[in-house]
Each structure stands twice: as structure tokens, then as C-alpha cells.
Chain A
Amino acid sequence: MNAPIGEIILDAQHLSMRFGGLVAVDDLSFAAKRGKITAIIGPNGAGKTTVFNCITGFYQPSEGLIRIVHMDGKEFLLERLPDFRIAARARVARTFQNIRLFAGMTALENLLVAQHNRLMVASGFTLLGIFGWPGYLRAQRAAIEKARFWLDRVGLSNRADDLAGALPYGAQRRLEIARAMCSDPVLLCLDEPAAGLNPREASELNKLLDAIRAESEASILLIEHHMGVVMEISDHVVVLDYGRKIAEGPPAQIRDDAKVIAAYLGVEEEEVAR
């Protein structure tokens, strides 16, 4: 917690998540900074996705608080908001470890669903839209333009009218990121975006995430196993093992951290003083 408060976008304090007797996340505190890429890494079952589910409201944490600070100083306590409000008001968007696109809808439709709340207001909660209200048609054109922009960014503009579920795996991953970005997030949570990508696709993903960090107001929180991605693009790495934070710092420092190496590779017990 040594970062200046103004720079912090996400601040999790003493976060715990228990399922019955199982402690998935144990007294975890960490912060993510605005305009940076923060990675959460750790071996399988370390509780990374549970942390994500707590942040995005799919789980109610057993203890702790999660605070998000917008650019204009507005603050939201995420543990008190239902999941869809976290996305709509606190503007936290996420992707999923196992891709969750609307498979039977086209790529373009997926990106329009992500802009639902704005379009809903523009359509007068359907009452005006049903009569073809010009304000709604304008809003829809703007929404399509925004979708087109993100489709271009992820290299899918020529597949806009194809079903999302019919796209190749790597394209689906990118479309999911584009969909999350269409909801105008301040914090983009990516759950293993490089899983199942080949090296070329992984390096393209790096470029995309770099571009998002540089050009949009979204900061990125990332769970990843792919160390190439993590070490290359993240500014700050948090390492979890058995629900606890075992290390935190810039990637170069994490790479040489004995505890991290121990957690991943396992070592003789006396070598690492826990």
C-alpha cells in the first residue's frame, strides 16, 4: 500500500473468501494503479479467479472491502454492489476463463449488448425506441460505430456479421475483450486472456493490451499463467498461493523471488523460510 492514494484505482483490503471450511482467499490486500497493468499470478487453485469473482460481484466476499476510485474521484465499495451494478456503475468489465460470448448472436450484436444500458436510456426504456425515435436511432448508429472501432482494433471487422460461436478460438478471446471494452470500463479484469493462444496470438494480445492501456482510460487487472505475457506487459505483479499473497512487485523482482519459485516449482522445505 505504498502507492499514492490518487493513483490507486482498485484497492482491496483484508479480502477473505470462505466456502464452508475451505478458505479460497485469505486476508489478501493489494492495490492496482490507474493506467497500469496489474497481474495476479499463482499456481492452479491459488484463488486467483475467486479474487476476480469477488471484485466483479459474482461472489460476496466473507470479509474485507474492495474500493474502486474513478477519475472524477467517485468511489464505489464493490463488496456492497450486486454484480450488474458493478459493471454498470462502478464500470468494472471482465472476461471469463472459459469464454462466455453470446454464441448464437453475431460478433456485432455481442458488442451492442455490451452497450445495453446506454442504448436502453436512449430508447426511452423501449417506449420511444419502439416508435423509431430519432434519438434512439442516432444512439444506435453511435453504438455501431463504437463496435466497429473495437472490431477493427481486435482485427475482426470482416467477421462482424458472423456468429460469435463460429469464430476461431483466438478470435473469440479477442472478441470477448472487445465486448468488455465496449462497456466503457475504468477497470478491465481479464481472466487468463492468453489461455489456449499460440505464440503469435499471444504477442498480438500483448500489443492489444498495451494499446488499451495507452489509449483508453481503462486500467487492466490480469490473471495469467502465460509468463511471457505477464513478464512482458505487466507493471505490477501480485503472486498468490493457497489464497495468500506471497509476493508483490515489479515483474523483474518477482522473477527472482525465492518464494515464488518455490510456489511454482517446489523446493526443499528448509530452503525457504516461510
Chain B
Amino acid sequence: MAVPTKPATSPRSAKLDVAGALKDAGLTAFVAFGLFSLMLGLRTETGSTGRLEIFPRPGLLATAVAAVFAGRLMIALIARSRVAADIGRSLQAMTPEFKKLDRFATPVLLSLVLLTPVLLYSEHYLLAGILVLAYILFRWGLAPALLALALLLPILFYSNRYLLDLGILVLTYIMLGWGLNIVVGLAGLLDLGYVAFYAVGAYAYALLAQNFGLSFWICLPLAGILAAFWGVMLGFPVLRLRGDYLAIVTLAFGEIIRIVIVNWQSLTNGPNGISGIPRPSFFGLPFNDSEEGFAAHFGLEFNPVHRIIFLFYLILALALLTNFVTLRLRRLPIGRAWEALREDEIACRSLGINTTNTKLTAFAMGAMFGGFAGSFFATRQGFISPESFVFMESALVLAIVVLGGMGSQLGVAIAAVVMIGGFEFFRQFEQFRMLVFGIAMVSIMVWRPRGLIATRMPSVFLQEKKIIPADIIDEARQ
């Protein structure tokens, strides 16, 4: 029953035609040189003798031609790699292409790396960091570069507290996005009330730490367990629901948790919130300028930024834990069962999969990571109130997951950086911020309806490891 097959790789896979793009850019630069050589390259001025004199301006001319060359090269590369049609695919296509480029680029990149110590020595830390990141980006691709950026950020911007705070915020949303991705992206259960678990985690930490004096590291797993418990509580009544109906019930659940927090004055202090939540300590060393403090213990000068950096690495570690666990789970039977559940619930049951347990574990896992993020939020802020856990937060996290591409870890990370970073970037255009944000979302949905990265890496292979492009998945699902 052998079936003749054509090669399974997509015929439309993007190949980056670097040589063609270079030729194109060179031609454009030549034309630009012809045009600019008279307009920019020569300047007439009244000379010392009163006559008009010609002053050549080679620097300006070179800059203009270089700008045209670079711009055209970028456009040509984009056009040739169909980035406009598929940015995710081209990002993946670029990496091997740059590897091929490596034959002669390796010496260049290597010298850049060798240059790094020189730059470090001359205290050009930022430039050195950028060089390292660029090398990682071209050598290994986007995901390692993002990870390296996250690891290097506190070192490169040691004194920039605003950027560190923004980094912590972005990482919190990346973690929330990855947590929700388990429920929405893998198990296909649309959850509009994810912020409820964030709230449970935050209040669990705040109340446990304040009332029982438990440390952050003890409260963190407890908060996760409590959030997972509430995930299961939400899961039970919605087992039979799918799609729109599920979304409505989870939306209501998120509001119920918030309203309970507002009204349960005796426990949660209601709308006034809980203040004075203990700050995290570095394994018992508090971040203050006392004798027992972190700075004194390590013989450093006290600086409040130490705590910020610690928080940054803490949320980075938590987010990476979420990512690691999700990637592992995808290759385990439970992860495959989640994805199968998303594809066809009836077929799952016909194969003996207990769909009830499978759904509940998805809710519980997603909720647990939401709870972790919530505890982190509480310890970072030192103050929590129900205002932090409104529906808008759920919508934002869901938007990150959907825009990033459901099920794609890298896509979610990019979407969180773009959306939360974008929020901050447009803060100066206060009135138009939401407008720009809305336009960006609509255009992404028009341009890439399945999210930024809609490709899928199968969890297991028989012959060869290959990423399945978004358009093939779309066709298969029809």
C-alpha cells in the first residue's frame, strides 16, 4: 500500500537570496551616487576671493549613498525572503542562511568578538553588549539572542532603573503569557479569566507572608498550589463547555474572584488592598543598608538597584522555569493529550483518554504558573489591591498569546516585548496610545491571522526534525 509521495517540505519555503539583494542594493547605491554626487557631494560657496568655489563633501556623499545602500539592501532582503508574507518563517530561514554566510563572515564576527574585550576595557559596555548580541543573533537565531539580551540587560543597564523596571514588567507578562499558553495554546481552552489565578497567587503570598511570617521561597510553591487548586475549581463546572461558552464562564470566574477580594474586607482589606508586603531577601539577606544586609555581606556599597536586579533575575528564572516545564510537557503524553484535545475531543475519548483529567491538569498547570507570577508581583510591588486584577489584565495576557501565535513560546515572548514595551514607548503620546495599540493589533490580525509565529514543531519525529509551516497547518485543519 505504498503511497507515492512528493517531498514533504514546503515548496514555498523562503530562501534568502543574499547575492541578488546585494546586487540590487549596489545598483541602487550606484544610481544614488550619480544623483547625489552633484546635489550633495559638491557645494558651491562664495570663496575668500569673492568668487563661487566648489567644496567637495565626500563624507556626506558617502553617508547618503551608504544609507541608500543599507535601506535598499534591507528592502530587497525583505522582499526576497517574503518577510512581508511570513516574518516567522523568514526569521527561521535567515539563520541557516547566515550560517552559510559564515564561511567568510566568521572571521569578521570573530574579530567583533575579539574586539569586545577592547571595548569592555575602554568601558564601551553597551557597544560590546550589542556586538555580542548581534553575534548570537546571526550565529544561533532569535531565541538565544533574546535570552542573552535578558541575561545581559541588568549588566548593560546597571544604572538605568527605568529600563530594569520595564524589563521586570515585560518578563512578568512573558511568564503570564507562557502560563496561559498551556491552557489556550496547547489545550485549546479559551480562558478569559486568567487574571484570577494571578490574583490568587498575589493574595496567597501577601496573606501568608503577613499573617504567618513565611518567607517568599516557602510562599511561592504554596501560592502555586493554591492557584492550581482554584484552576481545578474553575475547571469542574466548565468541563462540558467549549469555545464561546467556555470564554463567558471563565470571564465570569475572573470577575467573581475579584469581587470576592473587594468584598471580603476582614481577610483582604477590600478595595484598600494590602500594603507592607515583605520584600524578598537574597536567601535570608535583606536588601537594605543594615549590617546584615546583602550589600554589607558581600562588601558592596549599598545601592537600592541591587534589589531591582535581584527581582529581575528572579522573574527571569521563574519565566524560564515556565518555559522549560511547558517545553518538557509538550513531549510527554500529557502534553500530546492536551494538543489532541484541542484538535478533537471525541477522538480523544475514543482512544481512552480521560478528557476530564486532561482538561483539569491543563487548567491547573496554567493556573499554577499564574499563581507564581502573582506572588512575584506581590513581593515586587509590596502593595496589592483588587485594582491590579481587572479584566483588562486578562485581555492583555490573552492578546499576547493570540498575537504571538498560539502554542509558540518564542511568539509569545516577542508579543509581550512588543506590546508591553510598546505601551511604554507610546506613553508620551498619551492620548493616542490606545489608538496606536489598537491599530497595531488589528493590522497584525489582518496581516497574520494566526499570530506572529504560527509554525509548529512536532513533539516527536520518525525520520527528520522539521518545523511545520503555518500555511500547511491551516490547510490540514480544513
A binding-site residues for B, Cβ under 8 Å: 56, 58, 83-89, 93-94, 96, 100-106, 108-109, 112-117, 119-120, 123, 126, 129-130, 136, 140, 144, 147-148, 151, 154-166, 168, 170-171, 174, 179-180, 183, 204, 207-208
Assembly CA distance A166 to B457 (angstroms):
15
State whether the Cβ of B428 lies closer than 8 Å to any Cβ in chain A: no
Assembly CA distance A42 to B347 (angstroms):
25
Which of chain B's residues have a CB closer than 8 A to the CB of A179?
A: 351
Q: Check if A116 sits within 8 Å of B352, measured CB to CB.
A: yes
Q: Check if A83 sits within 8 Å of B332, measured CB to CB.
A: no
Which of chain B's residues have a CB closer than 8 A to the CB of A86?
A: 352
Q: Check if B333 sits within 8 Å of A129, measured CB to CB.
A: yes
State whether the Cβ of B348 lies closer than 8 Å to any Cβ in chain A: yes
Q: Check if A116 sits within 8 Å of B3, measured CB to CB.
A: no
Of A96, A108, A154, the contact of B1 (CB 8 Å cutoff): A154
State whether the Cβ of B460 lies closer than 8 Å to any Cβ in chain A: yes
The minimal Cβ–Cβ distance linking A145 to chain B, given in whole angstroms, is 10
Interface residues on B, range: 35 or more
Inter-chain pairs besides A87-B349, A136-B332, 13 sampled, C-beta below 8 Å: A56-B350, A96-B350, A102-B344, A103-B344, A106-B458, A108-B462, A113-B348, A116-B340, A116-B352, A116-B353, A151-B462, A154-B1, A208-B1
Which of these binds chain A: B126-134, B386-394, B469-477?
B469-477
The minimal Cβ–Cβ distance linking B322 to chain A, given in whole angstroms, is 13
Q: Check if A101 sits within 8 Å of B462, measured CB to CB.
A: no
Q: Check if B477 sits within 8 Å of A108, measured CB to CB.
A: no
Query: Which residue of chain A lies nearest to B353 when distances are taken between CB atoms in the complex?
Result: A116
Q: Check if B346 sits within 8 Å of A58, measured CB to CB.
A: yes
Q: Check if B343 sits within 8 Å of A171, measured CB to CB.
A: no
Nearest 5 Cβ contacts at the A-B interface: A165-B476, A155-B1, A88-B352, A87-B352, A160-B462
Which of chain B's residues have a CB closer than 8 A to the CB of A154?
A: 1
Query: Which residue of chain B lies nearest to A208 when distances are taken between CB atoms in the complex?
Result: B1
Assembly CA distance A183 to B346 (angstroms):
15
State whether the Cβ of B339 lies closer than 8 Å to any Cβ in chain A: yes
State whether the Cβ of B207 lies closer than 8 Å to any Cβ in chain A: no
State whether the Cβ of B334 lies closer than 8 Å to any Cβ in chain A: yes
Interface flags, B349-372, vs A, CB<8A=1, else 0: 111111100000100000000000
Q: Check if B336 sits within 8 Å of A112, measured CB to CB.
A: yes
Of A101, A158, A160, the contact of B344 (CB 8 Å cutoff): A101
Chain B residues 421-478 with CB under 8 Å of chain A are 456, 458-464, 466, 468, 472-473, 475-478
Whether A103 contacts B472 in the complex (CB less than 8 A), given A113-B337, A113-B348, A126-B334, comes out as no
State whether the Cβ of B124 lies closer than 8 Å to any Cβ in chain A: no
Assembly CA distance A108 to B340 (angstroms):
12
The minimal Cβ–Cβ distance linking B174 to chain A, given in whole angstroms, is 21
Which of chain A's residues have a CB closer than 8 A to the CB of B349?
A: 58, 83-84, 87
Which of chain B's residues have a CB closer than 8 A to the CB of A183?
A: 351-352
Assembly CA distance A157 to B472 (angstroms):
19
Q: Check if B343 sits within 8 Å of A83, measured CB to CB.
A: no
Which of chain A's residues have a CB closer than 8 A to the CB of B19?
A: none
Of B336, B340, B361, B462, the contact of A157 (CB 8 Å cutoff): B462
Whether A103 contacts B343 in the complex (CB less than 8 A), given A116-B353, A160-B462, A204-B1, comes out as yes
The minimal Cβ–Cβ distance linking A90 to chain B, given in whole angstroms, is 9
Q: Check if A104 sits within 8 Å of B460, measured CB to CB.
A: no
The minimal Cβ–Cβ distance linking B353 to chain A, given in whole angstroms, is 5
State whether the Cβ of B8 lies closer than 8 Å to any Cβ in chain A: yes
Whether A104 contacts B350 in the complex (CB less than 8 A), given A130-B325, A157-B462, A163-B476, comes out as no
The minimal Cβ–Cβ distance linking B333 to chain A, given in whole angstroms, is 4
